[in-house]
Structure 1
Amino acid sequence: MVVQQLKRAGMLTLAASAVAGGLVFTGAGTASAAPFVCTGQVFLAQGVNNNTQGQLYSGTFGEGNITFSPVGAPAPGNYNAIGYNPVDNYLWGIRFDNGGLWRIDSDGTATGFGPPTGLPAPGSTVGGVTVAGYNIGAFDDAGLLYVATSEAPYIWVINPVTNSVVRRIDLSANPKVSDFVFADGYLWGTSQANGSIVRINPNTGAVENFNAGLPVGTYGGAFAYGNGDLGMYNNNGTLYRIEVTNPASASPTFRVISTQTGPASGGNDATSCVAQPTDLGIIKDGPEQVNNGETVTYTLTVLNNGPGTSTGYTVTDSIPAGLTNVTTSSPGCSVANMVLTCTGGTLGVGDSTTITVSGTADGTVETLYNTANVRGNEEDPNPANDNSNTVVTQVVPMFAAPMAAGAFALAGGGFALRRRRRSVR
């Protein structure tokens, strides 16, 4: 039974319908119904108060970490399977207990529209599989919301304008992911079973697994960076940034570019929006010459050339052989296996940041060559300056000058001795 109730607030009249525990608002919008302004945000939805309410958070990239701040107050019910709709700039999700479609506004207000037509209710059985609450969601570029549950090998495609399912995708296998994201025409997630990257073809339903070196765990948050990299957020509080090469090929390759720490949580879901392209560049300074045993210090400068604000970046620098005891004190940086990796936060247009890394020249290599790379969160319209200039450093052997003088004196003495012998004869 639908109970109609009319409310008047100033000049605004809302028709509210109590549908399966959620509110359906019709009529003109309110000031709180404003869409988001996309600046490259990462959003995280979490169940709070024993998962009876849903709380939206907005993420901020920092030096070695990502922090989340609440957006508004908790919703009256718990929602999940969120996605950022690039068509209307709202977040949309599914209420966990009854399958209702919810829209989340820029102030965190959740507005319910009732269960989408054709979406199985939580607890129902489809193909012999019980459908639990919907915890997986992502939008495509056309403004369609793809939702799924971890237990069933199906994806339901929802048109939020009509609040109805327009297609069901039967998958070749249960992907066993906790979230997925659209990128390069595929849906991507991380397997709970073995930590592999899962690629789902939305046209055929084919599910494939690829090893990316991620640890086994529950990755409740999946999103895409503006440049196409994948962000996989483990519920233990680690964000993995992954570069995918040849994503549509039979054998795509994956590289973990960096990790950042964040709050550990359960029952979360992530999404993001794509900000305007931003040109980040990097330059590198270092000594032209050092003596064997001396310290070599490199200075890396990351600069935002615009036109937009950068939400963050990753810097990598493969330290050349011939340096030992490599260390860095720059925030957000670490050295492992002779590779410097740094993550940083917001850089405004014209702003820059500096990183230093040092090592000891051990004399095993006479000439050191070193180049660094910066990779911004957003698409880069000028990738030519993503790699720095090459710093060339000559390592002078210890006591080289005295040894040369001694060798010359010895040679001179030998020459004089030979001359004397010839003169005696």
Structure 2
Amino acid sequence: MVFQKNNVNVACLKNWYRIERGRQVEENNYEKAGGGGAFLSSSAVAVIGTAALLLSVASVGNFATRAEAAETVEATQGWNPYNISIPTTTEKVSTYYQIATRTGSDATQLYKATFDNGSYKQTAVGSPVSFTYNGIAIDPQTSAMYAAVVKAPSGAKDSAGNPVQTDDFLYVNRTNGKIYDMGTPTGMTHTESFGGFNVAGASNGKLYMTNSGTTSSAGRQQLWTVDLSTGTATSTNLTAGIVMSSDWTYENGFLWGRADANGDLLRVNPSNGQIKSFTLPSNMPSGGNQGGVFTFGNGNLGLVLNHGVTVQLSIGNPENPQPKVIATYKTAPGAGTDGASLIVGPVDLSIQKTADAVTVSPEGLVTWTLKITNESDIPSSGWVVKDDVPEGYTDVKVVDGSGTVEGNQVVFTGGQLDPHESVQVKLSAKAPNTTIEECMVNTADVNGNEDDPNPDNDSDNAKTCDEPGTVVWKKTDEQKKALAGSSWKLSGPNGYSLSITDNDVNDTDKSDGVFNVKGLQWGAYTLKETKAPVGHFIDQTEHAFTVKADTLTIDLDDIINNTMKPGLKVVKTSEPTSGSTVKPGQTVTYKIKATNTGNTVLDPAEVKDDLSGVFDNATYIDGSAKSTAGKAPSVNVSENNLSWSGRIEKGESVTLSYQVKVNENASDGAKLANLVIASGTNPDNPDTPVPSNCTADTAKSDPDCNTVNPIVNPPSGPSVHTGGTVTKADDDGYLIAGGLAVLGLIGTGVAVTLLLKRRSSEQL
């Protein structure tokens, strides 16, 4: 056997091996560049330190030891009963191994494994041997792999033809898979009665080995310590009644494993055999029995679960462990696992973090790029990046790279990174939906599989400001005077919709007619008025704008509302024309023309004609009421009126017409007199009266609003002779006959000048 002395100028080495046994594994289950197999509980693991080999017996386990490459010394200085030639080969990158024993066969195969973007791949090393061995470990001084024989059938031999029996120690050539028997350490009790050693850990030249199961069972109460320099073994009693781990690994002066019974983390003090347990964090993957345990070069533990998951676990202070899950890896499922790692290091990894935008919209998408670089001259076997996206960001996703998302935490895992090589991963999230500017710092950390001599570059951050947009505008009339009371609808990206009324909660500027709306996410918007200020036309324009990084405040300037100027002009006429006399039996035609003289629609416009001065002496001709627009006017004889209501567009007119017939008994000197009143409503400003020329106050004085037609009905009997003049009645209603009128008096023939006094029924 060849051992090595420590050399502080040479990189640290660590090997990880995995043992599988207890089931048949087909050769094609272990691909040359990947794959996996089933690993069962009877495998053994050993961890070796600087000067001695420590073995522990349990069902299956992974363990790792730290060492530094060293100069070669003579094999005779260490325990090497068969004087085996042990090559002092080293690795340029941290390397991982495992072994498997196939069901139905005692043959054991060595495999080489590597971490690769969230998983690991296996490649067979050499050919399987014909018996079962376990408890593999690597001497950190020599990089040599050791193991223990779990089950050796009669006549079993090693690769050199030497006989092999249960509990013998083995040297395993990790470059070709050949094994060499080294015999049983002096002072170690033979364990064939309980199946051989199958759990081990090593450090500082000592190999610690136990058997899996409960420490109170026969053959399982002791921790064996083997000094590799002399090949002698001593034992220490373990805390009784503990269900042991399937594997041990050595780190910071303790052996670490995971209890087969309840999954707790176990810590063994190898100096006194004391075992303590610690609860693992709640995010520890559930399901599957515990398999191998090993140590990463960074001091974290590797817990291999048989259902296909390997967990990287930090323990913090070994005197007061605070376990935390750092990362998880996809692993080939199996009934048991076992391993060790050869770590080359230290390796300096750095990380740089950038965001695709310094300023982002509320609910806008942010993409971060993480660049991981190997700053050293030796490769890294793998790395983990953890990024805790700040609270408030949502929809966190992995964009590029092998990563997992839990809440707002993203964990990326990567494989080998060659010297001065870089790799990038990306993640994204939606920014908070906020109405105020808010800047957040997002930090990412890289953790390599190996020790890192420069922690200052293991963390980096990117600042992203969630800066919303703002839109401002002013509502004015034609003279640029601010107008109060308008309402608006703002529509934007992703179905965004906001109703705004002058000086409400969404308008942060409390000046009348001046608007300021904040908190807009980036994107395209349209603004449209839904209610105009009183007395003004609504603005029909859709005002479009876009909020973006270089245009965060948009000023739409003055948005003008034209003043409403409604108006209604009515002209009433008659045929014969107003002022002309009519006689009994004559037909009179009336027309009312209503014109919209304003700049607004009138809806409705209403016309009411008072016919009380008509129906006293005339009769409505049924069916004569007509309209040039809308429905025909309604004539109510009992209430002595005609009415019409309808819509008149701006600039348009409607003409109403109807006819009456002067009554035969109409008194001479009576008249047909009517009065029309018209009004309109501006639907955009219904509370403000529309100016009209024919109102209750103006209709009597405006000739366009009334007509008068006197009735002439000569009396029957003697006629008035020529030479007289009939004049209009005076204020008292009298008619005076001027000149001499000679009347023939019936029966007397007397001619007299007669003053007739007649009371007019109504004043003309």
Q: Does 1:345 pair with 2:415? A: yes
Other structure's SS at 2:146 match: strand
Structure-2 residue corresponding to 1:274: 343
- What are the residue-to-residue correspondences of 1:125-140 with 2, within 5 Å? 131-140=194-203
1:224 has 2:298 as partner: no
SS of structure 1 residue aligned to 2:141: coil
Which residue number corresponds to residue 4 of structure 1?
Answer: none
Output the aligned Cα RMSD: 2.3
Distance 2:82 2:253 in 1: 34
**CA–CA distance in 1 between the matches of 2:144 and 2:474?**
74
Higher strand fraction (1 or 2): 1
Quick check: 1:181–1:222 contact (8 Å CA) kept in 2? yes
Residues 27-106 of structure 1 aligned to structure 2 (within 5 Å): 27=83, 29=85, 33-38=86-91, 39-97=93-151, 98-106=166-174
Q: How does 1:308-323 map to 2 (within 5 A)?
A: 308-323=378-393
Contact 2:243/2:261, CA 8 A, preserved across alignment: no
More relative contact order, 1 or 2 (CA 8 Å, 6+ apart): 1
| 1:168 partnered with 2:235 | yes
- 1 CA distance for matches of 2:447 and 2:403? 14
Deviates more, 1:320-329 or 1:210-219: 210-219
Mapped to 1, the partners of 2:290 and 2:125 lie a distance apart of: 22
Matched with 1:294 is 364
Correspondences of 1:140-289 after superposition (within 5 Å): 140-141=203-204, 143-151=205-213, 152-165=220-233, 167-173=234-240, 174-213=242-281, 214=284, 215=286, 217-249=288-320, 252-286=321-355, 287-289=357-359
The answer to whether the 8 A contact 2:310-2:329 is kept is yes
Instruction: Give the superposition deviation at 1:49.
Output: 5.0
Counterpart of 1:384 in 2: which secondary structure?
helix
Cα pair 2:287 2:307 within 8 Å, conserved: no
CA-to-aligned-CA distance 1:128-171 (integer Å, 9 cap, x gap): xxx32211012212x22111111313211123454431x11211
1:26 paired to 2:82: yes
* Counterparts of 2:212 and 2:474, CA distance in 1: 73
Q: Which of 450, 454, 460 is the aligned partner of 1:378?
A: 450
Deviation, structure 1 residue 367: 2.1
Q: Which amino acid aligns with 2:206?
A: L
8 A Cα contact 1:193 1:216, kept in partner: no
Task: Decide whether the 8 Å contact of 1:233 with 1:239 is kept in 2.
Answer: yes
Gaps of 5+ in 2: 1-79, 152-165, 214-219, 476-501, 515-764
Is residue 324 of structure 1 aligned with residue 385 of structure 2? Answer: no
The residue matched to 1:310 in structure 2 has which SS?
Answer: coil
Q: 1:162 to 1:76 in 2, by over 3 A?
A: farther
In structure 2, C-alpha distance between the alignment counterparts of 1:212 and 1:319, rounded to whole Å: 24
CA distance in 1, matches of 2:168, 2:146: 11
Richer in helix (by share): 1
Structure 1 equivalent of residue 635 of structure 2? none
With structure 2 as the length reference, what TM-score do the two structures score? 0.47
Larger displacement relative to structure 2 (259-268 or 330-339): 259-268
Query: What's the offset of the Cα at 1:391?
Result: 1.4
- Give the letter for the 1:375 counterpart: N
Q: CA deviation at 1:217?
A: 4.2
Higher Cα Rg, which structure: 2
Q: Output the amino acid matched with 2:209.
A: V
1:19-54 CA-partner distances (Å, limit 9, x unpaired)? xxxxx983563xxx5344143222212212535022
Would the aligned equivalents of 2:146 and 2:170 in 1 still touch at CA under 8 Å? yes
- Pairwise CA distance, 1:372: 0.3
Displacement of 1:195 after TM fit? Answer: 1.1
- Residue by residue, what CA displacement relative to the aligned partner does 1:68-123 show, whole Å, maximum 9, x if unpaired? 21111112211111111112211111110111111101321111122333323233
SS in 2 for 1:44: strand
1:356 aligns with 2:400: no
The reply on whether 1:109 has 2:175 as its aligned counterpart is no
- Contact map agreement 1:296 1:359 (CA 8 A) in 2: yes
Q: How far apart, in 2, do the equivalents of 1:218 and 1:265 lie?
A: 9
Residue identity opposite 1:136 in structure 2:
V
In the TM superposition, what is the alpha-carbon distance from 1:267 to its structure 2 partner? 4.5
Q: Give the SS at the match of 1:231.
A: strand
The SS at the match of 2:192 is coil
What number of residue pairs does the alignment pair up? 376
After TM superposition, the structure 1 stretch with the greater mean CA deviation from structure 2, 96-105 or 399-408, is 399-408
Pick closer, same or farther for the CA change 1:256–1:51 going to 2, 3 Å: farther
Give the Cα–Cα distance (whole angstroms) in 2 for the partners of residues 239 and 71 of structure 1: 22
Q: Give the letter aligned to residue 105 of structure 1.
A: N
- Give the Cα separation in 2 of the matches to 1:87 and 1:279: 23
SS in 2 for 1:73: strand
Aligned-partner SS, 2:471: helix
| TM superposition score normalised by structure 1 | 0.83
